């Protein structure tokens, strides 16, 4: 699953989890720190209370009490009404009773008070120290950590941004823009990839130009001799030789036409000229260029409108029907068509390999011996240019070649 996640998405997930972890960690730290603060206060007030309760047992003097006030930084509350007000309105935090006496800890108006009681003594002390829990230091630390985290995230995103641009340009190149060039001058790993890709583009473009030039020259050089040879074959008196030569030259002529179509489809200037038409119009045009008996084709067509390059789609349909009839034992084909898919069905043995094997150009001698030649490559290219898919299945002793138009 992780393998299918893009690098940027993966980094976003990691940083999101890290950000959540920061919040959780600081939350746990604050909770722990508050508990430590409360324990420290309890220990402080227990110590203050026990010191005063102990002094009460020895009938303390004014001087000894003043010394205790100064030592523990507390102030006695002398006003009786104020004492009652605090006791009535304050939040009682603890109450402790031992052999020395009783003491209570109150919190009122963000101040802490210790109320110490022993037989004959009743003293309320105000804690003069600022013992309120402060989160200022923690907040500063959290803000610094968060800003550092966000800074690192932005730096990483900026570092990966050229990789996104590189990916888009590679996709653009794969979609047919052969003139693209990656403008990334950095010497890091991404810069090395960009440089290597530019070199690869140059090599591919040079090879493509050489191939196109070779094909054009070859077709031009072969077309005239084949045409002349076909005329000469017509003059032969021997019927068998004449038919044999005519079939051979016709096949050579068909191969040249296929190569011309391939050259057109693989050219960087290839454009399709879509127009709204009906499938029946495409089918009629296909029959015209095939010049075969319509009785060899059974149809189940629900006519529909779609936007296609009429010429190219007719060539694709022709090649599929040609293959279906050629390899069918009964030399017949069935066409099922609706707005979702076009199926060309024929009897026969299943393909020996996956469909992708037969839709590659200029590879595998076995394909030519199988008789498929460049036909399926041309079909696949035309179908893909229209944004459709070419599919294949074998079912019930029949081959199904399908143009899937569902996007």
Distances (CA, A) of 205 to 63, 201, 271: 101, 6, 18
Per residue of the chain (407 residues), what is the pLDDT tens digit?
556 667 777 778 888 888 888 888 888 888 888 888 888 888 888 888 888 888 888 888 888 888 888 888 888 988 888 888 888 898 888 888 888 888 888 888 888 888 898 887 888 988 887 766 667 777 887 888 888 888 888 888 887 777 777 778 777 777 666 677 777 667 777 777 777 878 887 887 777 777 667 766 766 666 667 777 777 777 777 777 777 777 776 767 766 766 676 666 666 556 678 899 999 999 998 888 776 777 889 999 999 999 998 888 988 998 899 889 988 999 899 999 999 999 999 999 998 888 888 887 654 444 444 445 567 888 898 898 888 999 999 999 999 999 999 86
The answer to whether the beta carbons of residues 264 and 381 sit under 8 Å apart is: no
Long-range pairs for 289-293: beta carbons < 8 A, 24 or more residues apart? 289/314, 289/315, 289/318, 290/318, 290/321, 290/322, 292/325
Would you state the pLDDT for residue 166?
A: 77
How many angstroms separate the Cα of 113 from the Cα of each of 39, 109, 295? Answer: 16, 10, 108
Structure tokens at 58: 């020895």
Report whether 205 contacts 267 (CB < 8 A). no
What is the pTM for the complete model shown?
0.46
Q: Which residues contact 130 (CB under 8 A, 6 or more apart)?
A: none
- The reported pLDDT for the residue numbered 218 is 67
Q: What is the secondary structure of 259-285 as a DSSP string? A: HHHHHHHHSTT-----EEEEHHHHHHH
Least Cα distance to 146 among 28, 27, 23, 24 occurs for 23
| Cα gap 287→247, rounded to integer Å | 21
Contact 160, 6 (CB under 8 A): no
Angle, helices 279-290 vs 310-327, to 10°: value is: 60
Q: Quick one: angle between helices 310-327 and 375-385, nearest 10?
A: 140
SS3 per-residue string spanning 65-114:
HHHHHHHHCEEECCCHHHHHHHHHHCEEEEEEEECCEEEEEEEECCEEEE
Q: Which CATH class is domain 271-404?
A: alpha beta
The per-residue pLDDT for 11 is: 79
Nearest to 79 by CA among 127, 124, 115: 124
Nearest one of 384, 393, 322, 382 to 355, comparing CA atoms: 393
According to DSSP, the β-strands at 398-404 and 341-347 are antiparallel
Each domain of the chain, given as residue ranges in start order, spans 7-127, 271-404
């Amino acid at each position: 699953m992780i393998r299918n996640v893009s690098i940027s998405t993966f980094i976003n997930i990691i940083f999101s989890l890290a950000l959540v972890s920061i919040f959780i960690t600081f939350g746990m730290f604050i909770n722990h720190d508050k508990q430590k603060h409360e324990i420290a206060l309890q220990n402080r007030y227990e110590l203050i209370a026990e010191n005063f309760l102990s002094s009460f047992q020895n009938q303390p003097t004014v001087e000894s009490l003043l010394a205790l006030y100064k030592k523990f930084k507390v102030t006695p509350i002398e006003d009786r009404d104020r004492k009652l007000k605090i006791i009535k309105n304050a939040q009682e935090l603890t109450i402790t009773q031992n052999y020395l006496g009783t003491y209570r800890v109150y919190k009122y108006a963000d101040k802490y008070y210790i109320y110490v009681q022993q037989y004959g003594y009743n003293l309320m002390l105000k804690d003069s120290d600022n013992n309120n829990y402060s989160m200022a230091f923690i907040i500063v630390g959290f803000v610094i950590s968060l800003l550092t985290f966000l800074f690192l995230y932005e730096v990483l995103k900026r570092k990966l941004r050229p990789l996104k641009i590189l990916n888009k340009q590679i996709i653009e190149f794969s979609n047919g823009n052969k003139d693209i060039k990656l403008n990334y001058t950095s010497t890091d790993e991404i810069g090395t990839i960009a440089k290597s890709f530019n070199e690869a583009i140059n090599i591919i473009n040079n090879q493509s130009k050489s191939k196109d030039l070779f094909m054009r020259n070859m077709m031009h050089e072969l077309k005239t001799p084949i045409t002349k040879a076909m005329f000469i074959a017509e003059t032969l008196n021997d019927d068998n030789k004449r038919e044999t030569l005519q079939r051979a030259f016709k096949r050579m002529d068909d191969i040249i036409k296929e190569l011309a179509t391939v050259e057109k489809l693989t050219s960087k200037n290839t454009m399709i000229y879509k127009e709204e038409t009906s499938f029946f119009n495409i089918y009629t045009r296909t029959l015209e260029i095939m010049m075969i008996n319509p009785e060899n084709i059974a149809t189940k067509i629900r006519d529909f409108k779609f936007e296609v390059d009429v010429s190219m789609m007719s060539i694709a349909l022709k090649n599929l029907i040609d293959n279906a009839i050629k390899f069918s034992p009964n030399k017949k084909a069935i066409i099922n068509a609706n707005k979702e898919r076009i199926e060309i069905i024929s009897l026969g043995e299943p393909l020996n390999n996956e469909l992708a094997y037969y839709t590659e150009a200029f590879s595998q001698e076995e394909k030519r011996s199988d008789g498929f030649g460049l036909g399926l490559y041309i079909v696949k290219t035309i179908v893909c240019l229209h944004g459709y898919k070419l599919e294949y299945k074998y079912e019930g002793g029949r081959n199904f070649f399908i143009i899937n138009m569902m996007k």
